[in-house]
Amino acid sequence: MKHAPFCQDPFSYSRRLTREIKVGKVGVGGPNPIRVQSMITCDTMDTEASIRQTMDLAAVGCEIVRITAPTVKDAQNLRYIKQGLLERGCDIPIVADIHFKPEAAMEAALWVEKVRINPGNYADSKKFAVKEYTDNQYGAELDRIRERFTPLVKLAKERGISLRIGTNHGSLSDRIMNRYGDTPLGMVESALEFARIARDLAFHDFIFSMKASNPKVMIAAYRLLVIRLVEAGPDCNYPVHLGVTEAGDGEDGRIKSAIGIGSLLSDGIGDTVRVSLTEDSVHEIPVAQALVAPYKRRVQESPAAVHPDQRLSFNPVAYERRSSAKLNVSGTHLGDEETIRVFVRQKTLDSIVHKLARMGDFQPEGISDSDSVTAIDPTDSAAIAAINSSPEARFVTIEDDTHLPVITAYRRLASALEARHPILLKDTFQPSIDPHRNFLQTLLESATNIGALLCDGIGDAILIQGEEAPGQSLRLAYNILQAAGSRIFKTDYVACPSCGRTLFDLQKTTARIRNATNHLKGVKIAIMGCIVNGPGEMADADFGYVGGAPGKVNLYVGKKAVKFNIPEHEAVDRLVDLIREHGRWVDTIPSQGEQHEPALSLS
């Protein structure tokens, strides 16, 4: 498959060259480093708390801070937050986060350095209505959007501030949904409609984002956006803001963020990032800094001319698993439509064999250093030709100490190897021998490398080599498969980060819901602090728990609300009742040994 221009060269790193956009004193895009940002979680009307949380973020290295402004009154208070920050010597740029109310955006634009609008709800409502639009009706809707958006563009241009056109998979308008569906293409088209209005007004100080809670959707949307911008011409080189929305908390939230953000950074896409965790915002910054750190020192790699004939083995904007043959490798079935397997080294198996019965779901399924696995250099054309000439499918991986980056190496292997040969993915070609290595660094590196390849459809089995502790390496392998949507073995949670719109304590509520439901394998539960992205991001969730009003919760089945205004203290029990009603509940089994996943240190 000839690759579309989602990056300069998918086989060697090169950062996408964008124009520079100023957010106050901070340059985004152009020659600037990849910027790190976050969002405060308190009520915007609490001026002192907003100032304190903003300064706390700045103190840990946050470069841009976003504050929600759901009403005109909240937007007016941004003036006093900004004033208080400056009086305390803090000039960090502030971004106003706007949903639903153009009037709030107009007020906020008077006081902050950047305004983020969501095309899905800035001028449109969302009622999940089904309507066929004629071309004339669709054009009339675009005229209405132009009328609502133009004043903000003119004000931003007059004040010299920037905008973010931030699409969310969970809040596409009914108009977009009816024409394009709940798809990456719909996300891109939604943003481009607003971008065209800005460009018609000779305004270019804007940044795009394409956020989703599903890393595959998020990756596809950003790549498709870049393709469309490249096709539109060199002056459409706008920066992009990366983020996986509603990633959750703990290890799962960090893994999901690394898969989505890390994959795109490795493609050279991304000028600023926000890691969205259901935790205090200051905990997001070290994760974001660790994700972007490799690209501050990563240099441009060899140009495409060194491998001009290589073609992608995958479609960069539509997920499809690579079609390999089914093999029996020492009793383990893999390839074809078999689930993606977890392999370990013989050394790892030997160290845990005595406690496998107590390790619950975290079981090794194959040995990587057996005679059944063929390890090669992906640049060795003779070795690849020999495997391709084999009448039988072979199980192939890449040699340790290979000089190429992991993602590049496996893309080259999948490109040159006939699809019938299954592939074993490794997270690193330098196995760890350090029991004290920082686990956050290992987690992010492993999730980025293996997660990116899984989302490209490459891989029939995986091997974690970057983590020396055997049990922890197995947990990491299974959790990466879960976060990538490649293998569901436990309850899956979609949980948004806190912000000023949140109508209950997200961290405590998420913990209570986890405690009640984390034994339900294969059930997906969405936990949303408010209605902004709730129904849409819950489109592929089985059940949803959404703040409907202060102290009140609405419960959803899929994207349909079925229980309304439940008192918060009753809501978790009512969620359990709802799961029972739909036949998805099972009683807990008394735990033995290590059945439940222990907490991991992420420091």
What's the pLDDT tens digit per position in 224-263? 999 999 999 999 999 999 999 876 778 889 999 999 999 9
CATH 3.20.20.20 fits 319-483, yes or no: yes
In terms of pTM, does the model score above 0.75? Answer: yes
Angle (deg, nearest 10), helices 184-200 and 215-232? 40
Q: CB under 8 Å to 320, separation ≥6 — which residues?
A: 314, 457
Q: Is 65 helix (H, G, I), strand (E, B) or coil?
A: strand
> What does the pLDDT average to over 446-471?
96
C-alpha 470/C-alpha 472 separation (Å) is 6
Residue 501: predicted pLDDT: 58
How does residue 448 score in pLDDT terms, banded at 50, 70 and 90?
very high
**CA angle, 15 then 94 then 441, to 5°:** 45
- Strand 240-242 versus strand 206-211 pairing type: parallel
C-alpha 572/C-alpha 578 separation (Å) is 10
pLDDT above 90 for 496: no
More confident residue, 490 or 413: 413
Q: Is 304 helix (H, G, I), strand (E, B) or coil?
A: helix
In the chain, the percentage of residues whose pLDDT exceeds 70 is 91
Residue 547: predicted pLDDT: 84
Encode pLDDT of 512-570 as tens digits: 998 899 888 888 888 877 665 555 556 678 898 888 778 888 898 887 889 888 998 89
Residues of the chain with CATH 3.30.413.10: 501-581
**CA 290 vs CA 61, 325, 465, 482: distances in Å:** 12, 37, 19, 22
Residue 9: predicted pLDDT: 87
Q: CB under 8 Å to 454, separation ≥6 — which residues?
A: 259, 340, 425, 462, 480, 481, 484, 486
More confident residue, 508 or 477: 477
Residue 443: predicted pLDDT: 96
Cα 225 to chain center, whole Å?
A: 15
CATH topology of domain 21-300: TIM Barrel (3.20.20)
* Contact call for residues 227 and 317 (beta carbons, < 8 A): yes
CATH of domain 501-581: 3.30.413.10
> What does the pLDDT average to over 591-598?
43
Cross-strand partners of 524: 492
Task: For residue 437, give the nearest of 412, 402, 400, 467 by alpha carbon.
Answer: 467
The span from the first CA to the last CA of the chain, in angstroms, equals 41
Residues of the chain with CATH 3.20.20.20: 21-300, 319-483
The pair of structure tokens assigned to 256 is: 């999901």
On average, the pLDDT of the chain sits at 89
Of 366-370, 425-429, 593-597, give the lowest mean pLDDT range: 593-597
| H helical segments located in 280-363 | 284-297, 346-352
Q: How many residues does the chain have?
A: 603
Of 21-25, 340-344, 581-585, give the lowest mean pLDDT range: 581-585
Longest dimension (CA), the chain: 74
C-alpha 588/C-alpha 301 separation (Å) is 52
Encode pLDDT of 287-335 as tens digits: 999 999 999 876 655 554 445 567 889 999 999 999 999 999 988 999 9
Answer left, alpha or beta for residue 49, where phi above 0 means left and psi between -120 and 50 means alpha: alpha
Residue 155: predicted pLDDT: 98
Buried b / exposed e over 451-473, threshold 16 CB at 10 Å, is bbbbbbbbbbbbbbbbbbbbbbb
Q: CB under 8 Å to 112, separation ≥6 — which residues?
A: 67, 78, 82, 93, 94, 95, 96, 161
Residue 602: predicted pLDDT: 53
**CA 259 vs CA 287, 299, 454, 526: distances in Å:** 12, 21, 9, 19
Of 8-17, 121-130, 242-251, 465-474, give the lowest mean pLDDT range: 121-130
Residue 596: predicted pLDDT: 43
How does residue 49 score in pLDDT terms, banded at 50, 70 and 90?
very high
More confident residue, 13 or 61: 61
What's the DSSP call for residue 485? T
What's the DSSP call for residue 404? S
Q: Is 327 helix (H, G, I), strand (E, B) or coil?
A: strand
How does residue 594 score in pLDDT terms, banded at 50, 70 and 90?
very low
How does residue 279 score in pLDDT terms, banded at 50, 70 and 90?
confident
pLDDT above 90 for 108: yes
In the chain, the percentage of residues whose pLDDT exceeds 90 is 65
List, in sequence order, every beta strand (DSSP E) within 264-409. Answer: 272-273, 327-329, 332-334, 341-344, 366-367, 373-376, 395-398
Write the DSSP assignment of 90-150 as a string of letters: ----EEEEE-S-HHHHHHHTTTSSEEEE-TTTSS--------PPPHHHHHHHHHHHHHHHH
pLDDT above 70 for 4: no
- Strand 461-463 versus strand 492-495 pairing type: unpaired
Of 40-54, 504-518, 578-592, give the lowest mean pLDDT range: 578-592
> What does the pLDDT average to over 209-234?
95
More confident residue, 538 or 455: 455
How does residue 268 score in pLDDT terms, banded at 50, 70 and 90?
very high
The pair of structure tokens assigned to 128 is: 């999940």
Residue 8: predicted pLDDT: 83
Residue 593: predicted pLDDT: 42
Residue 5: predicted pLDDT: 82
User: How many CB atoms lie under 10 A from the CB of residue 595?
Assistant: 15
Question: Half-sphere exposure (CA, 13 Å, Cβ side) for 50?
Answer: 27
How does residue 197 score in pLDDT terms, banded at 50, 70 and 90?
very high
Task: For residue 170, give the nearest of 112, 218, 135, 206 by alpha carbon.
Answer: 218
More confident residue, 599 or 425: 425
The pair of structure tokens assigned to 183 is: 């798809």
* Contact call for residues 321 and 216 (beta carbons, < 8 A): no
